[in-house]
Chains A and B, each alone.
Chain A
Amino acid sequence: MSGPILDIAALTIAAGSDRRLLDGVSLSVAPGEVVGVIGESGAGKSTLGLMALGFVRPGCRVVSGQVRLGGTSLLALEPAALRDVRQRRVAYVAQSAATAFNPAWRIGDQVAEIRRLRGRAESEAAFLRDLFARLDLPDPERFGRSFPHQVSGGQLQRAMLAMALAGEPDLVVLDEPTTALDVTTQLEVLRAIRAAIGDRGLAALYISHDIALVAQMTQRMLVLRHGRMVETGPTAAMIAAPREAYTRELVAARTRVDEASGRAGAAPAILAIEGVTAGYASGTAVVKDASLALPRGKVVAIVGQSGSGKSTLARVVTGLLPPRGGALRLDGAALSPDLAGRSRDQRRRIQLIHQSPDAALNPRQRVGEIIGRPLAFFFDRPRVEIEARTRALLRDTELPEDLVERAPQSLSGGQKQRVCIARALAAEPDVLICDEITSALDPLVEDSIVALLARIRAERGLAMLFITHNLALTRRFADEVVVMHQGRIVERGDSEAIFVRPREAYTRVLIAAVPTTEPGWLDRRLA
């Protein structure tokens, strides 16, 4: 076929009366080409991706422009014809496989559904086996008989890819296909995506907020911001020499590896974890014999892939999960294993910040109430004083003071996480536990949150347990790094030293799996 598979011309999409989600965006994808779309959340990436399927989100409307798939204008099609296009020509892979699969159906049935719809059920078993094998899924003969909860997150993500490929489309839209995964699992999925599109002349639209991934996966890319095109061109050239300021910022945010401030000294430990073993219900232990000391005013990062036990360790420290063995000390004094046994003051001195700010803020309370509550609960102060402190905390976390009257759902992701930080600071803690607090955020927002934490830590002398799977952040921010693997602490040391001279094989794997924008990185990793 000559001409592009997908041709989007000067597309403008509006929500409500005047808010423009996309503003004059043009994009074309040739057969066999992989085009990247990059931008922070709210840039219109997903809206653009769904338009490639001719899908206009409810509440939005097309103001002007054209979407053509293989020469057919999708915007003019009747619903039945559009459904036919979606069955045959274009497929969509979403960010979260866990929600894309029906938990009550076997994976194979869901993957094959599109073929059955088109009456191509013959030789289905062989087709599925080949497909699963191509995506490197274990035991391709029987994989389809599993239910979604029986396979790992990375496998499920690949199964979703299989579902998209089952209809043998001309174009696949990959919408943040690895964002929910940790770095090592991400690599598996990237390998599968390469295998799926590389050798079949399939075209793809690769949507991501991670410029490193776009750099590895695509030939051309488009930078979106606030629904407008910032820059477009060949990927390698744009990474090497970004023309626009915004693109430069994106590239810089990913490659920046600041020198960490202040190295660990011999300060006395504010928090000590001694030989802790913990697990859920009757299952096997998730954390095994973990010991670590958090010096006063220092940042200790706990890194490891998902399932390594790092968040479980945080739950033990907070008292949410009483350990099966071991002991905890706060400032030298023994800390009761369960929350009920801890004094109000001990609970005040350890504060936790969660990964997802959406779930951590009660949608029915205003920002002022959310931040004011710990002030009222821990320090018995008059109302005016609490209100003044609340405003001071908002300023401290670089938020406008008039946020007090707002509901949390009206805030952006970064603002929400700042509110969570302000709430934790309201208790005037000695130890702050940050559980993957930036992994739900865009790289630029992540950058600013880490800068905020660094400033707060310098001002208040807070000690932090910083849990993350992002090693680049660790190097920038932590004094000391503890690497966890399968529930055990496998390596610990000065954060720079671990990066430069990792001793354990597992640490080397983790470090090597962090994507960079360097050309050819993925090819070398997968080779």
Chain B
Amino acid sequence: MRGRRSLLAPIAATFLAALALASLLAPWIAPHAETAIAGDPWAPWSAKHWLGTDSLGRDMVTRLLYGARNTIAIALAASLLSFAIAVVLAFAAATYRGWIDQLLSRTVDVLMSIPTLIFALVVLSALGSSVPVLIGTIVLLDTTRFYRLARALAVDVMAFEFVETARLRGEGFWWFLRREILPNVSAPLLAEFGLRFSFAALFLSSLSFLGLGVQPPAADLGSMVKENVQAIAFGLAVPLLPAGLLAALAIAVNVLVDWHNRRDAARMAQAR
């Protein structure tokens, strides 16, 4: 068990590093341009097209590189933004309580009561799909989830007497956020971040699959599945490639976060 665990994390880290690097360098390392038609539709794997071509004859390796690039960039931007907003709002609610807490928490409750996919579909049909609108929609939805967890964790920490001591001293909000609360809740928040990032990537892909996400001809893992879904009927693996990459991404992120939290817990236990 221990041996497998300790091997899993390096594999996930290597995979993520390679994927990040490849996405970053996509314009330089991709064999073709993002939208260039390079051969026959659904050509088999060959020396020319390592993973074949898609429904329009675009090179799959190229599409996968750009698809990962777009999906990861949007999901990462959305989850980082919602993480930052939610942590500040949640810690403010936990620190000040009273009407600030009521206002923020009830607003979040209202937002959470709307089914996410329906909410996103309505917003995207009304405003039209573009990258800023996509990020904004995911941020709005994800912030509520982050907020719930962050507030619950912060309220727990605020009950500790070391927080009371800081309050008696008259410390300001940023001190509470940075020094008293955040270090004590970083492990679960980081786990949530990994999960949220995976969900954001999956959610974006669902939207793209439904045609409301990243718009063609730009590549995106979700829209790539959509474009090539017919190929399944012919026994071709084309739509499984972007889907598999998405799954691998989600799993690797979570393995890495788990590994970090175990190491952190072990370090805290050792100091005891």
Residues of A whose CB lies within 8 Å of any CB of B are 318-320, 339, 344, 347, 351-352, 354, 356, 359-365, 373-374, 377-378, 406-407, 409-410, 423, 427
Contact = CB atoms under 8 A, between A and B. Distances in A.
B169 A377 contact: yes
Contacts of B166: 373
B271 interface: yes
A42 B169 CA distance: 34
A339 B168 contact: yes
B118 interface: no
Given A377-B169, A406-B271, 10 more contacts: A318-B168, A339-B168, A347-B168, A352-B164, A361-B162, A362-B179, A362-B180, A364-B184, A410-B271, A423-B165
A310 B268 CA distance: 35
B271 A374 contact: no
Interface string B155-191: 0000011101111111100000001100110000000
A360 B165 contact: yes
B272 interface: yes
Contacts of B165: 352, 354, 360, 423
Interface residues of B, number: 18
Given A319-B168, A377-B169, A410-B271, A364 B183 contact: yes
Contact of B268 (A351, A374, A406, A409): A409
Given A360-B161, A360-B162, A409-B272, A352 B168 contact: yes
5 contacts: A318-B168, A356-B161, A360-B160, A360-B162, A365-B183
A377 B167 CA distance: 12
A365 B179 contact: yes
Contacts of A354: 161, 164-165
Nearest to A360: B161
Nearest to A342: B170
B162 A362 contact: yes
Contacts of A356: 161
A351 B184 CA distance: 24
A320 B271 contact: no
A406 B183 CA distance: 16
B164 A347 contact: no
Contacts of A406: 271
A423 B165 CA distance: 10
Given A364-B184, A409-B271, A410-B271, A347 B169 contact: yes
Contacts, number: 57
A358 to B, nearest CB: 9
A257 B130 CA distance: 79
Contacts of B171: 377
B188 to A, nearest CB: 14
Nearest to A427: B169
Contacts of B168: 318-320, 339, 347, 351-352
Contacts of A377: 169-171
B37 to A, nearest CB: 56
A332 to B, nearest CB: 22
A269 to B, nearest CB: 21
A359 B162 contact: yes
B271 A407 contact: yes
A347 B170 contact: yes
Contacts of A407: 268, 271
A347 B169 CA distance: 6
Contacts of A320: 164, 167-168
Nearest to B185: A364
A374 B169 contact: yes
A483 B162 CA distance: 28
Given A359-B160, A359-B162, A360-B162, A344 B170 contact: yes
A355 B227 CA distance: 65
B167 A339 contact: yes
A180 to B, nearest CB: 17
Contacts of B169: 347, 373-374, 377-378, 427
A359 B179 CA distance: 15
A407 B170 CA distance: 24
Nearest to B157: A362
A361 B184 CA distance: 12
Interface string B229-272: 00000000000000000000000000000000000000010011
